[in-house]
Homo-oligomer: A and B are copies of this chain.
Amino acid sequence: MEDVGRLAGVSQVTVSRALRDPSKVSPDALRRIRDAVATTGYVPNAVAGALASNRSRLVTALVPSITNVVYSSLVKSFIEGMRAEGYHILLSETGFDPDDEEALIAAHLSRRPDAMLLIGIHHTAQARRQLLGAGIPVVEVWDITDTPIDMCVGFSHADAGRSVADFAAEGGYLAAATLTAADERARRRARAFAERFEARTGRPVTAVTLPGPASLAEGRRSFASLCDDHGFAAGVVFCSSDLLAHGALIEAETRGIAVPETVAVIGFGDQDFAAHTAPALTTVSVDRTALGRKAASALLARLAGTPREEAVMNLGFNIVRRGSA
């Protein structure tokens, strides 16, 4: 800045001002400064700026997995919303582990972000304490609670499980099963589904729980196990993700099981391919783009100092009936 100023015939401060708010500098000086910036190839140092102003224009996001479209599409619209206002996003993967998340939160906090996005509502006590202590806006997404750290925008996984159970009960299925990946929220949906389905129909629900994350291969394998090891021959299967459900569909076809006549399959997530499987997948749709956008706008409002709007935003979900159930 010193150099740029010298070249433009002004002081370093004036350069700073010209870059930050052009209206605070005379048009003539502005022009000379811009020329000087161009000829020197000056690149501002945001690190120094952040230290001096105590604003980093950096927002931190912690997601369980960046390769899972469910999260990446949400984060994508969040990033777009924040970038429109000049914020950058520091992204890390927590891998579904609260302790890893805690360590990452501490690491991210040391970068002095202006705000933070978290997936889910379950964090360690220490993490909550640090976040509260940081005094920055925090938004928790993809789940809902009455006691957010700061704000939260999402939907109720238990409600989703129950709605699917209602859908299944009304479909007249006489038996039900759940195929659930190793994910606390998925388990909450499965549990709520089972409780409601049993309450309405009086029939027990077979629960198959996977040791790891969802994948097509796991979907096939676990559906096979449901048939072979659990003796499931007919009814409705609620899968914790569309990927699992697609796997189940493929395995069912391989075994010559008619879908939805003999076995009906319900997914979760309404991913791109859900409308194109054979038969097309009945699933639970969550507007991830809206979630990300809402998270961004809520944070932006707080950062702009707008009077606090409601802290808990429930965007709900939607059951999409297609051919598989």
Q: Which single residue of chain B is at the shortest CB-CB distance from A271? A: B216
Set of chain B residues within 8 Å of A48, measured between Cβ atoms: 51
A137 interfacial contact with B, CB 8 Å = no
- Residues A82-117 near B (CB distance < 8 A): 83, 88-93, 106-112
Check A51 against B43 for contact (C-beta < 8 Å): no
Check B73 against A67 for contact (C-beta < 8 Å): yes
Set of chain B residues within 8 Å of A109, measured between Cβ atoms: 43
A320 interfacial contact with B, CB 8 Å = no
> Would you give the shortest CB distance from A325 to chain B, in whole angstroms?
19
**Which residue among A43, A66, A134, A253 has the maximum number of chain B CB atoms within 10 Å of its CB?**
A66
Encoded as 1 (CB less than 8 Å from any B CB) or 0, chain A from 49 to 93 comes to 011000010100000001101001101100110010000111111
A276 interfacial contact with B, CB 8 Å = yes
The CA-CA distance from A110 to B49 in the complex, in Å, is 10
Q: Which single residue of chain B is at the shortest CB-CB distance from A75? A: B66
> Would you give the shortest CB distance from A20 to chain B, in whole angstroms?
13
Instruction: Name 9 interchain pairs, CB-CB below 8 A, sorted by A.
Output: A43-B133, A47-B47, A48-B51, A66-B75, A69-B69, A89-B92, A216-B272, A250-B276, A273-B273
